[in-house]
Amino acid sequence: MVLKYELGEEYANKLDSLDPLKDTRNRFYLNKDEIYMDGNSLGLMSKDAEKTLLRVMDEWKNFGINGWSKAEIPWIYYPEELGKLQAALVGARQDEVIIHSSTTVNLHSLVSTFFQPSGKRNKILMDSLTFPSDRYAIESQLKLKGLDPNEYLVIVESKDEKTIDEDEIVNNMSEEIALIMLPSVLYRSGQLLDMEYLTKEAHKRGIIIGFDCCHSVGAIPHKLSEWGVDFAFWCNYKYVNNGPGGAASMYINSCHFDKEPGLAGWYGYFKEKQFDLSNNFESANNVGGWQIGTSHILSMAPLEGSLKMFNEIGIERIREKSLNLTGYLMYLIDNELYKYGFKIGTPRENNKRGGHVALEHEEAIRINEALKDLGIVPDFRYPNIIRLAPVALYVSYKEVWKVVSVIKEVMDKEIYKNYSNKRGVIA
C-alpha cells in the first residue's frame, strides 16, 4: 500500500488506526517515557524472545549437561534448528543458514575459505563506506597471505560520501579480482544495494561475491539462494532483536558445500561423528561445517522466539510498513525540518532504502544529545548524521510524528546549544 502523506498529529493517529501490524508493539518491552528509534543498532526485547530465553535457562537449571540431548530443542542441534527458522527470512535453503559466533569472526571464516588468490586473480574488492570492522578483517586476511592491502585491496570510492554507485562497483570487477565483499545496506546512509544485480555481474566474470547483511536482515526480504549469492553473514541483535551481542548468522550457498572450511573447529565436524573426537577433520556436509567452537546457547535462545515471531508475521508485511514509516519520516523532514538546515542522506527510492533514515546537520552531535534527554533514542554517526530507525514491529506513526515535533522544539528553543559538541565514547 502506497501512502499519500499529510501533516498533523491527526493524520498520524489515522495511520496507526489503519496499521495491520499495530498490535505487534504489544509483544515488546517499551519504555512509556521513550520513543525508541535505534533498533538498527540494538533491537528491543520481545516477550517472545524472553520466553525462549527463560525456557533454555530453565533447561540448564534442570538438565545440566543433559540439556545437550534432552532440551526441548537439544542444544547440540540448536544452531541448525534456528538456522532453519531463519532460512525463510533470508530466502535460503534450510541447510544454508547457521547461527554461529559473531559477525567479524564469521567474516574471517568465510574469507579464509573463499579468498584463494591464484595467478593474476589475487585481489579483493570492497567499497569505501563499508562498516570498518569488515575492512579490518579483510586487510588482516590479506596480510595473513603475505599480500599488502595497499596493493591487493581495491576500494570503490563514494562520490558523495553517502552512497556507492553500483555501476562503479561493476566497472571495478576486473580480471584481477578474486573476491568481492560488500554491505547489503550502508550503515550510515541506509542505501540498499542491488544484491541480485551485483551477484549476477560478479558471476559473469567468475568472481566470488559475499554480503554483510547486518543492516538488512529483519528489515527487508532477501532471496540469497535464488540470487546465487556465494556467502553472507549478519548480526541478529539489530532488526532481529536477539539481544546485545547475540549470536550471529552466516549463509553459504549449497554449491560450495564441497569446499573445505578455511577455519576449522570441532563444532563444524560431521554431527553423527562429532564426539568420536577424531584427529582427522570431517566437515559437516552443509553450512554447519563452518562452525568453529561450541555454540553460545544462552546467547542464541532469544533468537528462537524472535524468529518464530518473524515467520508468523512475515517479512514482506514488515518491509511494507517499514517503507511507509521511513517514507512518512522523510515527508515530515522535508516539510518541517529543512528550514533548520537538515538534509536527508538516505536514498528516496523504495528499492534503494534500508530500514533507517540518515538525518544530516552540522550540529548533529548536540542535537542527538538533546533528543536523548527529551525521551528520543536515536544514534549519531560521524561526522554529521543522526540515524533514525522506525522499526516496523514496535514503532508507531504517531511516534514518528512526535520525533519530528521534538526536533523542531530542540531547534526553535536552541536547546541543543546546552550540549557539548564532543561525542561520548558510545555514540
Q: Which residues are annotated as a binding site?
A: 103-104, 131-134, 212, 215, 237, 266, 294
Per domain, the residue ranges of the chain are 9-30+315-418, 51-313
Task: Specify the pLDDT at position 313.
Answer: 98
Per-position DSSP letters for 95-136, written without gaps between them: GGEEE-S-HHHHHHHHHHHH---BTTB-EEEEETTS-HHHHH
Below-50 pLDDT ranges, the chain: none
**Whole-number pLDDT of residue 2:** 60
Out of 3.30.360.10, 3.40.630.10, 3.40.50.300, 3.90.1150.10, the CATH code matching 9-30+315-418 is 3.90.1150.10
Q: How far apart are CA 170 and CA 337, in angstroms?
A: 36
Q: Residue 421's pLDDT is what? A: 85
Q: Which amino acid is at 4?
A: K
Domain 51-313 is found in CATH 3.40.640.10: yes
Predicted pLDDT of residue 14: 97
For the residues of 319-372, what is the DSSP string, one character each?
HHHHHHHHHHHHHHIIIIIGGGT-EE-S-SSGGGB-S-EEEE-TTHHHHHHHHH
How confident is the model at residue 4, as a pLDDT?
A: 87
pTM for this model (two decimals): 0.96
pLDDT of residue 427: 64
Q: What pLDDT does residue 307 have?
A: 98
Q: Are β-strands 357-360 and 385-388 bridged in parallel, bridged antiparallel, or unpaired?
A: antiparallel
* CA distance from start to end of the chain: 35
Helix axes 297-313, 78-90, angle to 10 degrees: 30
Q: What are the CA-CA distances from residue 331 to residues 164, 283, 318, 327 (Å)?
A: 24, 52, 20, 6
Cross-strand pairs, 388? 357
Sign of CA dihedral 100, 102, 107, 108: negative
210: enclosing H helix or E strand? strand 208-212
- DSSP string over 168-195: HHHHT--TTEEEEEEESB-TTT-BBP-H
Is residue 421 a contact partner of residue 365, using CB atoms and an 8 Å limit?
Answer: yes
Shortest CA distance to 297 belongs to which of 30, 61, 88, 47? 61
Q: What is the pLDDT of residue 426?
A: 65
CA distance 219 to 350: 13
Residue 1: the pLDDT is 59
pLDDT of residue 366: 97
pLDDT, position 159: 95
Binding residues for pyridoxal 5'-phosphate, by number, are: 103-104, 131-134, 212, 215, 237, 266, 294
Cell of 293: 567452537
